[in-house]
Amino acid sequence: VLDFNDPFSTEVKPRILLMGLRRSGKSSIQKVVFHKMSPNETLFLESTNKICREDVSNSSFVNFQIWDFPGQIDFFDPTFDYEMIFRGTGALIFVIDSQDDYMEALARLHLTVTRAYKVNPDINFEIFIHKVDGLSDDHKIETQRDIHQRANDDLADAGLEKIHLSFYLTSIYDHSIFEAFSKVVQKLIPQLPTLENLLNIFISNSGIEKAFLFDVVSKIYIATDSTPVDMQTYELCCDMIDVVIDISCIYGLKDDGTGTPYDKESMAIIKLNNTTVLYLKEVTKFLALVCFVREESFERKGLIDYNFHCFRKAIQEVFEVRMKVVRSRKHQSLMQKNKRPTPNGTPRMPL
């Protein structure tokens, strides 16, 4: 079991802390994004009363730990070692209920961010302005502007202008929570520039409008090309993945129910009524490439498939390099543990 004190665990599996006041929606976010729970079912979730840890290991890129902190716990209490908590953290997500009075939440946010930054200046601070499905478009923008202004003013008053906060409008009732989590996870992937560069090369040589590299299980996109992301485009890609998995579960399994609904043969083409084609191809058993292609460009499908073959081969090489690094770090971590003396002072026997 990897714990707070294990340096290897935070190098290989970055830690994401999920914090916020009680009933702000932290557990609902986790259940919807990583457990495919229906948003309506989250209404019956009980309030979290203890720290919950979950390992997310869907692929070699989507590989991290989520720690869900109950809103009522004061982890700055002397009984908690908050320095140990923040020391190995990659991202801190603070959830604010946009439909509630958020002054108390902003005070708690300021306290959390300032103390975390002193312990670990490399933490990414991500603010989810949550439950915005109940607000009008104008009210959403106004709420985001107000929270953004107040949070940054509090940091400026404390002389901490260099701390950067990222803000997202989120709801579990649409795809905004998946997109926000995608942005958070991407910051924790050291290979992101390489993946983006590969996607840019792929689309420029294939006549493709837009491409996403998706984690199929969570529908988090771990990389996309350098063109701007349109929310509607992202939603279509998520819906396509759902359609492919659902149909594969019905028609793709063997008669005895064995097999997997998503494998190396998985591929789908959906033609939209605006002369655009959605094209999905399997990259690894957990990753899919979803592309937006104009019909006239899709006529050169052979070229796209050849370029995709080169792209997939390059992704596998990136995987291999990462796995070599992981194995090397794991070996170093075990060697360091073996060098430590046992409590009675005798050296440890090598494993």
Can you give the CATH number for the domain in which 282 is found?
3.30.450.190
* 121 and 169 housed in the same domain: yes
Regarding predicted confidence, which is higher, 22 or 12?
22
Report the range of poorest mean pLDDT among 137-141, 163-167, 199-203, 334-338.
334-338
Which residues, at least 6 apart from 114, have a Cβ–Cβ distance to it below 8 Å?
A: 155, 158, 160, 163
Tell whether 35 is covered by a domain. yes
The one-letter code for the residue type at 113 is: V
Tell whether 9 is covered by a domain. no
Note whether 179 and 228 are within 8 A (CB): no
Q: What is the mean pLDDT of residues 109-114?
A: 93
Q: What is the mean pLDDT of residues 109-137?
A: 93
Tell whether 337 is covered by a domain. no
Say whether pTM exceeds 0.85: no
* 134 and 88 housed in the same domain: yes
* 236 and 182 housed in the same domain: no
Note whether 29 and 177 are within 8 A (CB): yes
* 171 and 292 housed in the same domain: no
- pLDDT tens-digit readout, 236-293: 999 999 999 888 888 877 776 666 778 888 899 999 988 899 999 999 888 999 999 9
Q: What is the mean pLDDT of residues 161-189?
A: 93
Does the structure show a pLDDT above 80 at 351? no
Tell whether 334 is covered by a domain. no
Mapped onto helix, strand or coil, the DSSP state of residue 276 is strand
Does the structure show a pLDDT above 50 at 9? no
Q: What is the pLDDT of residue 251?
A: 82
Which residues, at least 6 apart from 128, have a Cβ–Cβ distance to it below 8 Å?
A: 20, 29, 93, 94, 95, 96, 168, 170, 177, 180
* 83 and 107 housed in the same domain: yes
- pLDDT tens-digit readout, 292-350: 999 999 999 999 999 999 999 999 888 888 777 767 777 776 776 666 655 555 555 55
> pLDDT-derived band of residue 2, with 50, 70 and 90 as boundaries?
very low
* 136 and 274 housed in the same domain: no
Instruction: Give the residue from 132, 160, 188 where a domain finishes.
Output: 188
Terminal-to-terminal C-alpha distance of the chain: 17
* 166 and 241 housed in the same domain: no
* 265 and 173 housed in the same domain: no
Q: What is the mean pLDDT of residues 82-88?
A: 82
Tell whether 86 is covered by a domain. yes
Alpha helical stretches, state H, the chain: 7-12, 26-35, 82-87, 103-119, 137-157, 176-186, 192-206, 231-251, 295-298, 301-339
Q: What is the pLDDT of residue 204?
A: 94
Phi, psi of 202 (to 5 degrees): -60, -50
Can you give the CATH number for the domain in which 71 is found?
3.40.50.300
Domain count along the chain: 2
**Strand-pair category, 89-97 with 15-20:** parallel
* 155 and 217 housed in the same domain: no
How far is C-alpha 152 from the chain's CA centre? 24
Give me the residue label for tokens 């260099």.
162
Does the structure show a pLDDT above 60 at 145? yes
The residue range of the domain holding 256 is: 191-326
Give me the residue label for tokens 């890129």.
61
* 23 and 168 housed in the same domain: yes
* 160 and 36 housed in the same domain: yes
- Percent of the chain past pLDDT 90, that is, above it, reads 51
Tell whether 336 is covered by a domain. no
